[in-house]
């Protein structure tokens, strides 16, 4: 497999799932169904049936969503490899997608990752009872303004900027009442939009520390190798070449922000000039265009988009 030193691969996180995802790709590329079958065996449930037939509320349960999206990303990567696609110079994933990147880089066995993220979803859900946490997207304010709004709105509770997704696009998370206060504060500060997100878990904020502790114990028993392709981590936009370094970053990732803008800039600093998003949806492709309009980005999720990305 040849390496393209100008190519980066990125993998999406929660929110990119949809019923019927990758159905068309599966018809043309046997690797897709084979990957889902492998995941189903690891989880002892029919993941492909849930992804294709639902019900939607089942797919949207975080302990199902996480393995479903990880499997989808790995399936697209395997289809890319089987079709003769080049090896990228670097990989990254948004939140959960970091686990997908670690599987595709050879650092983490796929079957281990599937059960790991199933538990990750459960730990996250159990850390904050349903209804007590919230997340919201703030558009049109710079990072410093959003951080200041959160500091004013906290009032002894937790509300933090948790996803620095693109310039002027930041997600906040924390206790529901504090997030509501921050939404009002953001509107008063001149945000173009401040909208609650339909999620059941306040990811990447201090409320996730109990989940992080449980994840640390869980990761201690999982084998990790040095990635064959560098993976840039969410918490510091840096690559780690040690198992302990990867574990530390995966634990910290649960309660620290996703620094997506810095991750993409770090890829560019390594010489990456084109990015492929592997998995359902086009969320990261949209964010990456906002980060740097000049950098080509392809979302690979069906046979046509795979063929086009391979041609480029």
Q: What is the 3-state secondary structure (H, E, C) of 122-160?
A: HHHHHHCCCCCEEEEEEECCCHHHHHHHHHHHHCCCCEE
| Catalytic hit among 29, 94, 118, 204 | 204
How far does Cα 115 stand from its chain's mean position? 16
How far does Cα 265 stand from its chain's mean position? 17
Q: What is the DSSP string of 53-103?
A: H--HHHHTSHHHHHHHHHHHHHHHHHHHHHTTPPEEEEEEESTTHHHHHHH
| Catalytic hit among 16, 40, 94, 95 | 95
How far does Cα 38 stand from its chain's mean position? 21
Residue closest to 268 by CA, chosen among 131, 89, 48 = 89
Q: Clarify whether 94 is annotated catalytic.
A: no
Q: Clarify whether 105 is annotated catalytic.
A: no
Beta strands per DSSP E along 167-243: 169-175, 193-196, 231-232
CA dist 221 and 104 (Å) reads: 20
C-alpha triplet 5, 97, 228: angle, nearest 5°: 40
Catalytic residues: 95, 204
């Amino acid at each position: 497999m040849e390496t393209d030193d100008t190519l980066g691969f990125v993998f999406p996180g929660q929110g990119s799932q949809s019923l019927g995802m990758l159905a068309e790709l599966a018809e043309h590329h046997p690797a897709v169904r084979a990957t889902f079958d492998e995941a189903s065996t690891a989880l002892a449930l029919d993941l492909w049936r849930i992804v294709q037939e639902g019900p939607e509320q089942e797919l949207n349960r975080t302990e199902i969503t996480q393995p479903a999206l990880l499997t989808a990303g790995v399936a697209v990567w395997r289809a890319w490899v089987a079709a003769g696609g080049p090896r990228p110079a670097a990989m990254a994933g948004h939140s959960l997608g970091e686990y997908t990147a670690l599987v595709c880089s050879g650092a983490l066995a796929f079957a281990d990752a599937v059960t790991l993220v199933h538990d990750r979803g459960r730990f996250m859900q159990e850390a904050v009872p349903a209804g007590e946490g919230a997340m919201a997207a703030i558009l049109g304010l710079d990072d410093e303004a959003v951080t200041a709004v959160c500091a004013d709105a906290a009032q002894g509770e937790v509300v933090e900027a948790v996803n620095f997704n693109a310039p002027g696009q930041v997600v906040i998370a924390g206790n529901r009442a504090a997030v509501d206060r921050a939404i009002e504060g953001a509107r008063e500060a001149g945000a173009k939009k401040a909208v609650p997100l339909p999620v059941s878990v306040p990811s990447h904020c201090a409320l996730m520390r109990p989940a992080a502790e449980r994840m640390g114990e869980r990761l201690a028993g999982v084998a990790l190798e040095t990635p064959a392709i560098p993976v840039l981590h969410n918490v510091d936009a840096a690559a780690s070449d040690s198992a302990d370094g990867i574990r530390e970053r995966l634990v910290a990732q649960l309660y620290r922000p996703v620094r997506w803008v810095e991750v993409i800039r770090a890829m560019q600093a390594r010489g990456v000039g084109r990015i492929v998003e592997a998995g359902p949806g086009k969320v990261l492709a949209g964010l990456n265009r906002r980060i740097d309009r000049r950098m080509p980005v392809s979302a690979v999720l069906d046979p046509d988009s795979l063929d086009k990305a391979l041609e480029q």
